[in-house]
């Protein structure tokens, strides 16, 4: 029985009022005061949009357009492939100029297939009419279908397709967690989103709450987000939402990590290699909740997101409403361009982000921050030295791992041992590397070890499939051979059990063969060249031939 949106009851005393602690973590300088204090500005429509077919975890979307096609804003241009995938929509109107490999946001400067649209500046929708869906009357499955069609993925960074994460009826969910704990320094897009669009966030949370049928919903913010908190309380007071509470968590990096936040708010641990849904919790980023609001209430797919453009390397640090596919270079220009002493460009924050060599990469659904830093602001790390076994990395690890051991095993490519030490529970937060006195780039070792293991698994799967196909081929050949042998045996049996007519035929054939044989023998006894014989010999042969003909004549 599906609960209606109005039937969620606010617990008199919330079971999630008490806060808990997670192991480790770091107090970091925020560096977000400037960008968080300025209103969100529109980055406008760039001359070109570059839309990668894969902006999410899972299979790349399948391209539905070709060069020369006219596209409208909101038009589906690449469809979801398989269960774990996400659709891509044109974020503005224009003409498709090419579908080709282009540089995408990736630490290695990776290229990937992208749809390139030359915009017409009109930002035209195909259908201007749209009516809000009454989600409260919908079944969770139906709601998930709408969310899937809108191409929504987790906007917090992971990019997991939202409908897959919601499960929509597959798990019993007790608590929906809306994560607005923006713990990484410099990033303030979620903070500004709540300050300016709190009502949309609340409505998006209600849609998600209905989709997972959860009685409880917590919108978690950081201690330093007083304005955002006020905006949420105001929006809650004017809405008829029930079962939603706003909770502040202490400023400690990485309290916005999914597992860490669940630990803080509930005291529960997500099992190693498991999911929050396994313990009755679904966690969604606050930007995702706003995107769900747009999809269901405004009937608009995911076309834009808020991006923080910050660091001393840009003129104006600010948050921008940015069309998906906008080149980062356009976004930097919207922020007044680079300063003279800019040194490096990062995607994401200083802890979990990565340096990119170029700025002609597009803003994707998961890109939340463009950080341009100066040398003074973020000096290059000194050369790494040997581990001195100080144990500082272990003290700060929020996943309660042994980073030093992981480093040894990752470095020596001992993948089994690294997995035994729960390598895949590492959230790559960078706390260990931040405190390491030997300046060892620990996270890089972990990332490399993980990708090696994934590669090995992929190769094992591929060779398993090849072996299965080879075995199937051999089985098919053996079956054909056996079928042929059975057919021959059947024929032989049929001949041996014949009524006699075949014996007569056989005798006739044998007699014919005997006659041919005799004729051949006779021919072989005759001299080949009669002209070379004496007259006497020729006369004798002629006489013999004549007598033979007389004998052969029928009576």
Binding site for ligand SF4 (CB under 6 A): 387-393, 396-399, 401, 403-404, 406-407, 426-432, 436-438, 440, 442-443, 446
* 177 contact partners, CB below 8 Å, separation of at least 6: 217, 218, 220, 261, 262, 265, 276, 281, 282, 283, 284
Cβ of residue 254: shortest distance to ligand SF4, in angstroms?
8
CA triple 177-179-185, angle to 5 deg = 160
Give the nearer residue to ligand SF4 in terms of CB position, either 119 or 404. Answer: 404
Q: Kindly tell me which of 2 and 387 has the beta carbon lying closer to ligand SF4.
A: 387
Distance CA 166, CA 177 (A): 11
Work out how close the CB of 261 gets to ligand SF4 at its nearest, in angstroms, rounded to a whole number.
14
Shortest distance in whole angstroms from residue 277 CB to ligand SF4: 21
The distance of closest approach from Cβ of residue 379 to ligand SF4 in the complex, given in angstroms and rounded to an integer, is 19
Give the total residue count for the chain.
Answer: 555
Contact 316, 34 (CB under 8 A): no
The answer for residues whose C-beta is within 8 angstroms of residue 89's C-beta and 6 or more apart is: 74, 75, 76, 77, 151, 301, 302, 303
> Do the beta carbons of residue 96 and residue 66 sit within 8 Å?
yes
C-alpha 511/C-alpha 420 separation (Å) is 84
Q: Which is nearer to ligand SF4, 344 or 447 (CB)?
A: 447
* Minimum CB distance to ligand SF4, residue 378 (Å): 18
Q: Cβ(162)–Cβ(202) under 8 Å?
A: no
Nearer to ligand SF4, 25 or 161 (CB): 25
- Of 353 and 403, CB closest to ligand SF4: 403
Nearer to ligand SF4, 97 or 444 (CB): 444
Closest CA to 327 of 544, 117, 156, 28: 117
DSSP codes, 45-71: --SEEEEES--SSSBPPEE---TT-EE
Give the dihedral of Cα atoms 465, 466, 467, 469; nearest 10 deg. 90
Q: How far is the CB of 13 from ligand SF4 (least distance, A)?
A: 34
Provide the minimum distance between the beta carbon of 250 and ligand SF4 in the complex, in angstroms, as a whole number.
Answer: 18
- Between residues 104 and 406, which has the closer beta carbon with respect to ligand SF4? 406
Residue 6 Cβ, how far from ligand SF4 at the closest point, in Å?
Answer: 41
Is residue 137 within 8 Å of residue 146, measured between CB atoms?
A: no
Residue with Cβ nearer ligand SF4 (284 or 404): 404
């Amino acid at each position: 029985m599906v609960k209606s949106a109005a039937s969620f009851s606010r617990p008199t005393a919330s079971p999630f009022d008490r806060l808990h602690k997670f192991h480790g973590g770091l107090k970091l300088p925020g560096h977000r005061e400037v960008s968080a204090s300025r209103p969100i500005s529109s980055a406008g429509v760039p001359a070109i949009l570059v839309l990668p077919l894969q902006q999410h975890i899972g299979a790349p979307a399948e391209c539905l357009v070709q060069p020369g096609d006219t596209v409208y804003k909101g038009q589906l241009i690449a469809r979801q492939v398989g269960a774990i995938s996400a659709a891509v929509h044109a974020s503005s109107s224009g003409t498709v100029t090419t579908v080709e490999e282009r540089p995408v946001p990736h630490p290695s400067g990776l290229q990937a297939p992208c749809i390139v649209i030359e915009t017409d500046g009109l930002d035209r929708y195909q259908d201007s009419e749209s009516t809000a869906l009454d989600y409260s009357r919908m079944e969770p499955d139906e709601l998930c279908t709408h969310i899937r069609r809108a191409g929504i993925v987790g906007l917090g960074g992971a990019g997991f397709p939202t409908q897959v994460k919601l499960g929509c009826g597959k798990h019993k969910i007790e608590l929906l967690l809306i994560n607005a704990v923006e713990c990484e320094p410099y990033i303030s897009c979620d903070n500004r989103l709540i300050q300016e669009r709190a009502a949309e966030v609340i409505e998006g949370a209600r849609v998600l709450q209905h989709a997972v049928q959860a009685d409880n919903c917590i919108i978690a913010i950081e201690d330093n987000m007083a304005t955002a908190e006020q905006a949420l309380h105001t929006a809650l007071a004017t809405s008829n939402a029930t079962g939603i509470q706003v909770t502040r968590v202490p400023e400690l990096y990485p309290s916005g990590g999914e597992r860490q936040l669940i630990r803080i708010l509930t005291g529960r641990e997500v099992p190693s290699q498991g999911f929050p849904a396994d313990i009755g919790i679904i966690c969604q980023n606050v930007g995702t909740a706003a995107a769900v609001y747009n999809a269901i209430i405004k009937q608009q797919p995911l076309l834009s997101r808020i991006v923080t453009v910050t660091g001393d390397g840009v003129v104006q640090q600010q948050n921008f409403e940015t069309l998906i596919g906008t080149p980062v270079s356009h976004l930097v220009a919207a922020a007044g361009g680079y300063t003279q002493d800019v040194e490096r460009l990062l995607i994401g924050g200083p802890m979990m982000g990565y340096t990119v060599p170029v700025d002609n990469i597009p803003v994707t659904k998961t890109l939340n921050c463009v950080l341009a830093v100066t040398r003074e602001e973020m000096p290059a790390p000194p050369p790494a030295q040997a581990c001195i076994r100080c144990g500082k990395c272990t003290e700060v690890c929020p996943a309660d791992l042994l980073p030093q051991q992981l480093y040894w095993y990752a470095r020596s490519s001992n993948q089994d041992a690294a997995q035994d030490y729960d390598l895949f529970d590492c959230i790559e937060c960078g706390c260990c590397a931040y405190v390491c006195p030997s300046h060892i780039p620990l996270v890089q070792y972990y990332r490399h070890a993980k990708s090696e293991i994934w590669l090995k698994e992929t190769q094992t799967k591929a060779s398993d499939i090849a072996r299965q196909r080879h075995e199937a081929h051999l089985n098919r050949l053996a079956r054909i051979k056996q079928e042929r042998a059975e057919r021959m045996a059947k024929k032989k049996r049929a001949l041996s059990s014949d009524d006699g007519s075949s014996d007569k035929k056989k005798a006739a054939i044998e007699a014919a063969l005997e006659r041919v044989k005799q004729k051949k023998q006779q021919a072989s006894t005759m001299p080949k060249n009669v002209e070379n014989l004496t007259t006497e010999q020729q006369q004798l042969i002629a006489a013999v031939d004549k007598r033979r003909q007389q004998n052969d004549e029928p009576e």
